[in-house]
Amino acid sequence: MLLYEGKAKKVYSTENENEYIVFYKDDATAFNGEKKAQISSKGILNNKISTIIFKMLEENNIDTHFIKSISDREMLVKKVEILPLEVIVRNITAGTFCKRVGMEEGIVLDEPIFETSYKNDDYGDPLINDDYAVAMKLATRKELKFLREETLKINELMKEFFLKMNLKLVDFKIEFGKDSNGNIILADEISPDTCRLWDVDTNEKLDKDRFRRNLGDLVEGYEEVLSRMKNL
């Protein structure tokens, strides 16, 4: 049964009450849904790329919702309740950060920036701090501390992983969910839709900025990321 349809994915229930199926769609959206397109095979690429990243993180003791890949476009995952927080890490300046504070793109930051936004399209996913999150009862202080520590670990693992593929992990967004035992685990997807990835030598952008900023064919970029992963 379809439980939820988002901009890029659908979530279905299964016969097992502790498991869901995530289906990756071909839809691309940007600027809170203002720019839209159907991009044939994007869903397949994101499912494959997310699968490889979740497996890598699991091997490195990060708990995720990923159970297994079950088709080109679908993965079986643990049932979680998604926290209404978008967790963002920035290693190099880009995107909203540059717009917000007027810094130019491409500056390597001395320390990663950890950021949280309230996941709510009506309000444009506003940037919030811990006090907001606690006041809005989105998470407790203890949970926020865990989210920061876990996210910074994930950042180190992903930075190293992408560097082996000659890619710079500029920034990314992740989401966490609570499983049936109340544990917070990494959920959602990790793909070029949710990460900025630049070639180390040329700074070519191989992520969704190709779509957002008309920088080239999106599928070609995502295929390049997947083929570098397979060649590791």
Closest CB to ligand C5P among residues 70, 98: 98
Binding piece for ligand C5P, criterion CB under 6 A, among 18-26, 50-58, 160-168, 189-197: 189-197
Distance CA 195, CA 92 (A): 12
Closer to ligand C5P by CB, 73 or 90: give it. 90
Per-residue x/- track, 99-128, ligand C5P (CB under 6 A): --------------------------x---
CB of 193 to ligand C5P, least distance (A): 6
Q: Give 4 or 70: the residue with its C-beta nearer to ligand C5P.
A: 4
Q: How far apart are CA 82 and CA 114, in angstroms?
A: 19
Specify the residue, 42 or 208, whose C-beta has the smaller distance to ligand C5P. Answer: 208
Q: How far apart are the first and last CA of the chain?
A: 37
From the CB of 172, what's the least distance to ligand C5P, in Å?
5
> From residue 65 to residue 104, what is the string marking binding to ligand C5P with x (rule CB under 6 A)?
---------------------x-x-----xxxx-------
Question: Within 12-51, which residues bind ligand C5P (CB under 6 A)?
Answer: none
Cβ contact 105:121 at 8 Å:
no
Closest-by-Cβ residue to ligand C5P is 95
Report the SS3 class of residue 226.
helix
Distance CA(37)–CA(29), nearest Å, equals: 7
Q: What is the C-alpha to C-alpha distance for residues 154 and 157, in angstroms, rounded to an integer?
A: 5
Q: Does 195 bind ligand C5P (CB under 6 A)?
A: yes
CB of 183 to ligand C5P, least distance (A): 23
**In angstroms, rounded to a whole number, what is the distance separating the alpha carbons of residues 20 and 202?**
40
Number of residues that bind ligand C5P (CB under 6 A): 14
Inter-CA distances, 89 with 10, 18, 170, 173, 220, Å: 25, 30, 9, 7, 25
Label the pairing between strands 184-187 and 108-118.
unpaired
Contact string 148-177 vs ligand C5P (x = CB under 6 A): -----------------------xxx----
Please choose, from the candidates 32, 10, 46, 40, the residue with its C-alpha nearest in 3D space to the C-alpha of residue 222: 46
Task: Please give the residue ranges that form the binding site for ligand C5P (CB under 6 A).
Answer: 86, 88, 94-97, 125, 171-173, 194-196, 208
